[in-house]
Structure 1
Amino acid sequence: MAKTLKILTVFGTRPEAIKMFPLIHLLQEDQRFDSRVCVSGQHRGMLDQVLEIAGIEPHHDLDLMQPGQTLDALTARLLEGIGNVLDEERPDWVVVQGDTATAMCGGLAAYYRKIPVAHVEAGLRSGDIHHPWPEEVNRKIIGTFAALNFAPTETSAKSLTTENVDPAKVHVTGNTVIDALHWITEKVAAEPALATALSEVEKRFAGKRIIGVTSHRRENFGDGMDAIADAIGRLADRDDVAIIFPVHLNPNVRSVMNERLAGRDNIALLEPLDYPNFARLLDISSIMLTDSGGVQEEAPALGKPVLVMRETTERPEGVEAGTAKLVGTDADRIVEEASLLLDDQEAYSAMARSHNPFGDGKAAQRIVDLLAG
């Protein structure tokens, strides 16, 4: 009888949890594996919301975040904390996702112990180590030692082999975020009460076209956030438009948006939404303005054009497919491109109908089968 493989999944942020829970569900159900879960708590409240809705109880919760913590202090605490868990669990595989400090340190701690690492959402590259920062370097570090690289697309797989990663270690699986979106959409359809946080805002903005906004990237702090706030304010001057903006908890985002946008009739600044309600926001929005990575994958699955408020993207497939457009953080450009989609039905339809290149909702099963060998 084949040995049961102990798999330790390590993650800490809300996006990681969303992209990992479909995989964890399958690992828990599969008798080939002993599934263990370690969370760092890198996003405390937002992480816990996803764990609750997905029904995942971590075996280890490091709860490492501290107010005003520097990246080097966080990195040191993550390496030591995850290292202690690895020494206790002694897993056969460590699975990390994406490009966070938790993913990088989880992979590095495993590498230090010669435990093989599997990287979910491997191979994303912007080509600029400062955009996104520090994520671009985090994922490149993981790519140097991962024993299995689960690339979401052929483009990301090619990025890895271009960096001399052994092609035998690279597998195109699709992105688990599409699995997660399918799961939550079905769950909300069965239990509508899970996604009622936007009900009052939807009534308030009835008859208007909704622009959903997310923004939190470190490289946009300062002038970039000011420009994004300016653009949102100008778009909200239109009578036919309303803005719904769940504002990230980081004070570099909150202080700017609250000062510049609070109290506007056509703008709803909300607390961060849990996953079911965020899926609802994607569903009711005509356009998404974002500097997030995940939204570039999720919104096209629901036929929603994405304007990416960044100078580069590690998801060029969306731009190439026509589901997303890079607009940077110049306020005039953001307003111009959003207005085009609002005013030109052909331009809108061209983006809304483009094929989503990020997966078919079966990525997690492919990953499970590859881990089983």
Structure 2
Amino acid sequence: MKILTVFGTRPEAIKLFPLLHALRDDPRFESRVCVTAQHREMLDQVLAFAGIVPDHDLGLMRDRQSLDTLNARILVEVGGVLEAERPDWVVVQGDTTTAFAAALAAHYHRIPVCHVEAGLRSGDLANPWPEEMNRRAIATFAALHCAPTGLAADNLVRESIERERIHITGNTVIDALLWARERVREAPESTRIMRELERRFEGRRIVRISAHRRENFGHMREIASAIRRLSQRDDLAIVFPVHRNPAVRDVMQVELSGLDNVALIDPLDYPNFVRLLDIAHLMLTDSGGVQEEAPALGTPVLVMRETTERPEAIAAGTARLVGTDPERIVNEVTRLLDDSETHAAMASAHNPYGDGQAASRICDLLKEAPR
């Protein structure tokens, strides 16, 4: 059975490489890989670390290209790959423009779609944007829905998806994280960037920052204001891998440069990211994936959004919504820094996102599921 997996961003690559490893090692499948390179450098870092060599590299990244242009280019180019490969299944992950356009191309070519990490919902089409629309649209024509949690599966049932096409698999991001942590421990030289920062900030607790969501582009100065206030603490070090988008980078460079205990660094490759996740005292983020990854390593997460498509983390107590108001951010971070019981409760709460065996379950489903 030929499986074509299509992805284009670093988060997709992280969440799909465990499945690609499983498909590669399973004699039941011929695995083919197509990348759109919606992200380029960050994608390539993960591919190299995971040992994944694409069969098709479309190289569609362009500076400042609009979503409609990117979507159209992916739709056409992936369509050409489908004509050449004629796979039995197309696998997409999550809610990116690549996932949506590739799934739509497969639908146009009457090839069944397997949606990994299906069923996430915030309930608000504008938040996160455009991801909420992308994942809802993919659900309307996917043939196989691999939901990470029971709540995600329930979301699909409420949208009238056939129950027999919905399966709870856990999230492949946990598979990836556990695999990567072992590799990092075996090869500390792979995390040179973080080892240097650890020496620089020895004796201080580390807060890891990430901010890149489009709906937060208008709130970057508020986020920077909160970080600047937190940086006044002598017991704290802030590590901020700054997204390359000018809407993020330009603001943060102006607002935060020159602060002794704030490290504004380039986006980390995956091994260094895993190391930072492992040593951070807490995470302050607007990312979706970090809400799943950090709890697996016992790191509390404060989410700079008003809604999340990962309410399981909120319910489990591993994450908390704090929005983008500087006062609220500072208060919540301070609480976790100064109240050891609150921090311990979040750090020890059960991670609802899986046991590290999601990829093998998806392999079995691809072989057995009706198309």
Normalising by structure 2, report the TM-score. Answer: 0.99
Equivalent position of 2:327 in the other structure = 332
RMSD: 0.6
Equivalent position of 1:138 in the other structure = 134
Whether 1:318 aligns to 2:332 is: no
Equivalent position of 1:275 in the other structure = 270
Instruction: Tell me the amino acid that sits aligned with residue 245 of structure 2.
Output: N
Partners of 1:361 and 1:196 lie apart in 2 by 26
Whether 1:371 aligns to 2:366 is: yes
Partners of 2:276 and 2:308 lie apart in 1 by 23
1:148 pairs with one of 144, 150, 169 = 144
Whether 1:86 aligns to 2:82 is: yes
1:97 pairs with one of 93, 98, 108 = 93
1:292 pairs with one of 287, 294, 297 = 287
Partners of 1:144 and 1:216 lie apart in 2 by 28
Partners of 1:68 and 1:145 lie apart in 2 by 30
Equivalent position of 2:164 in the other structure = 168
Partners of 2:205 and 2:27 lie apart in 1 by 48
Partners of 2:360 and 2:191 lie apart in 1 by 27
Instruction: Tell me the amino acid that sits aligned with residue 316 of structure 1.
Output: P
2:302 pairs with one of 304, 307, 331 = 307
Whether 1:124 aligns to 2:120 is: yes
Equivalent position of 2:174 in the other structure = 178
Deviation at 1:367, TM superposition (A): 0.3
Partners of 1:258 and 1:8 lie apart in 2 by 40
Instruction: Tell me the amino acid that sits aligned with residue 112 of structure 1.
Output: Y
Equivalent position of 1:213 in the other structure = 209
Task: Please state whether the residue corresponding to 2:181 is helix, strand or coil.
Answer: helix
Normalising by structure 1, report the TM-score. Answer: 0.98
For structure 1, which runs of at least 5 residues remain unmatched after alignment? none
Partners of 2:164 and 2:205 lie apart in 1 by 47
Deviation at 1:341, TM superposition (A): 0.4
Instruction: Tell me the amino acid that sits aligned with residue 217 of structure 1.
Output: R
Instruction: Tell me the amino acid that sits aligned with residue 241 of structure 1.
Output: L
Partners of 1:21 and 1:347 lie apart in 2 by 35
Equivalent position of 1:228 in the other structure = 223
Partners of 1:118 and 1:168 lie apart in 2 by 13
Deviation at 1:195, TM superposition (A): 1.2
For structure 2, which runs of at least 5 residues remain unmatched after alignment? none
How many pairs align?
368
Partners of 1:216 and 1:232 lie apart in 2 by 15
Partners of 1:120 and 1:143 lie apart in 2 by 11
Equivalent position of 1:189 in the other structure = 185
Structure 1: 4+ residue segments shifted above 3 A: none
Whether 1:77 aligns to 2:73 is: yes
Whether 1:10 aligns to 2:6 is: yes
Partners of 1:153 and 1:196 lie apart in 2 by 35
Deviation at 1:152, TM superposition (A): 0.2
